[in-house]
Amino acid sequence: MAQLKNFPLPDVGEGLTEAEILNWRIQPGDAVELNQIIVEIETAKASVELPCPYAGTINELLAEPGQTVEVGTPILTIEPAGASDDTESTERDGAETGTDPDSAEQGGKIGEESADGRIATLVGYGPRSTSAKRRPRKSGAASGSGGGATDSGGRRPATNGTPVTAPASTNGTAVNGSAPRAAEQARPVPAAGADRVPGDRVPLAKPPVRKLAKDLGVDLRSLSGSGSGGVITREDVERAASGGGTAAAPTPAGATGTATTAPRDRSEREQRVPIKGVRKATAQAMVDSAFTAPHVTEFLTIDVTPMMEFRERLKKHPEFRDVKVTPLAIASKAMCLAAKRTPDVNASWDGEAGEIVYKDYVHLGVAAATERGLVVPKVRDADAMSLRELAVALEELTSTAREGRTPPEAMTNGTITITNVGVFGVDTGTPILNPGESAILAFGAIREMPWVVDGQVVPRQVCQLALSFDHRVVDGQQGSRFLADVGSMLSDPGMALTFG
């Protein structure tokens, strides 16, 4: 058997400190290739697929789906292909105790070739300023009367030189030359049907069962497994989801009586979901923004009938036949043009340096509602794009965000944001600034409403805009001018020709 290697959770960018394991693409015993996708994780910014830094055979998975792991913590062990057998004992011991120089000390430096010829290619494999926290490991040797050390095969040397097989372990599993891995021996196995300790973070259940429980909203910690060794089965989860609870204990012999249905406690009708991932990051960002930047919100109601007519004409234009030009795309283009005339809305407040930072580029943030929560990916250099290019970029960006595939680098360094609350049938709102930005525009629903045109009340397409801005950077005059400029271009797209 060859040496074992640790795969620590890498920092996938932007200084993230932890991530949640979403699902494994492999299982122990599977053969994997270099850079094969093996696990999907969720950071505070996006869902990310991680490739394997080794080719070889998966030895053990050290983290369960749904578990939050700190960066630098080993998440699996692997037996690399082609590793030398004569160094097995020394290097495996290093991997078990966390002293493997490739993982503990250096983490496999980027671009540096290791002893087995591997070149680390994953983000976060450079030197770390602090040592990574590791899950504690227990000794794999079985306990028995008299104790004593055992060799790599789980046998205790006798005084006459003949190896003696160690007695059975405390969980009833015999220890011999083909003993299970140390981590497996140390894992406690409760008796079937035993009550679980409240707050147990890792109940015994296979990954598919964990996913089913998550989809059905069942807390595995509240169940007693009916499977062998107390393992929670699919039937246990489905029974709990249907209101049946865990399997009922058998009635003692000779017991009689009529079953009564007790009223359900309030806690049984509530569901508690851990605050983590995107929701946790969004909440912290919104609190920081709300209590740091003094928000001011202004509103404007406009007739966007000309914009809608302009959109219909674009559909017939040869250059736009294969492009979906949405009202959001037109509003986004108007924002980029208006920001050139009022650069304060595209600036940021640097309190530490005592400076206002003006930017000659627009990284447009687009708020997108996803199953994982609110995310705000950015269109880089949106001001340099034509309307067609911007429409294509917005469609790709929002589609990727809803699928949870936005890369971390697309989630940072925005300069101004637009949020389309109109897709939910909402007229307007008072949006909260993204940290580091000075303005955000809420684009409301477009409705047919009565409107006065040349002294006559006629039906028109009407929309409401709401601009929130940081009053430290943007004065009322500047915010009002920017909002009025955006409104004028949506009321009359030809006004865009007057913005250089």
- Tokens, residue 79: 């037996």
User: CA dist 309 to 81, 303, 329, 336, Å?
Assistant: 64, 12, 15, 21
Is 471 an active-site residue?
yes
What one-character-per-residue DSSP string does 211-242 give? HHHHHHT--GGG----SGGGPBPHHHHHHHHT
Q: Among 431, 495, 436, which Cα is nearest to 465's?
A: 431
Q: Is 201 helix (H, G, I), strand (E, B) or coil?
A: coil
The DSSP 8-state label assigned to residue 158 in this structure reads P
Residues in CB range of 156: below 8 A, 6 or more apart:
148, 149, 150, 163, 164, 166
The DSSP 8-state label assigned to residue 410 in this structure reads G
The single residue listed with the structure tokens 């400076």 is: 355
Reported as type and span, the H/E element at residue 335 is helix 327-341
Q: Is 361 helix (H, G, I), strand (E, B) or coil?
A: coil
Euclidean distance between CA atoms 223 and 212, whole angstroms: 14
Euclidean distance between CA atoms 217 and 212, whole angstroms: 8
Euclidean distance between CA atoms 396 and 414, whole angstroms: 17
Of 295, 317, 363, 471, the catalytic one is: 471
What one-character-per-residue DSSP string does 340-354 give? HH-GGGG-EEETTTT
Q: Among 424, 458, 425, 465, which Cα is nearest to 442's?
A: 465
Q: What residue ranges in 289-405 does DSSP mark as E strands?
A: 295-303, 348-350, 355-357, 364-370, 373-375, 378-379
User: At what angle are helices 387-402 and 327-341 packed, to 10 degrees?
Assistant: 120
Catalytically active residues, by annotation? 471
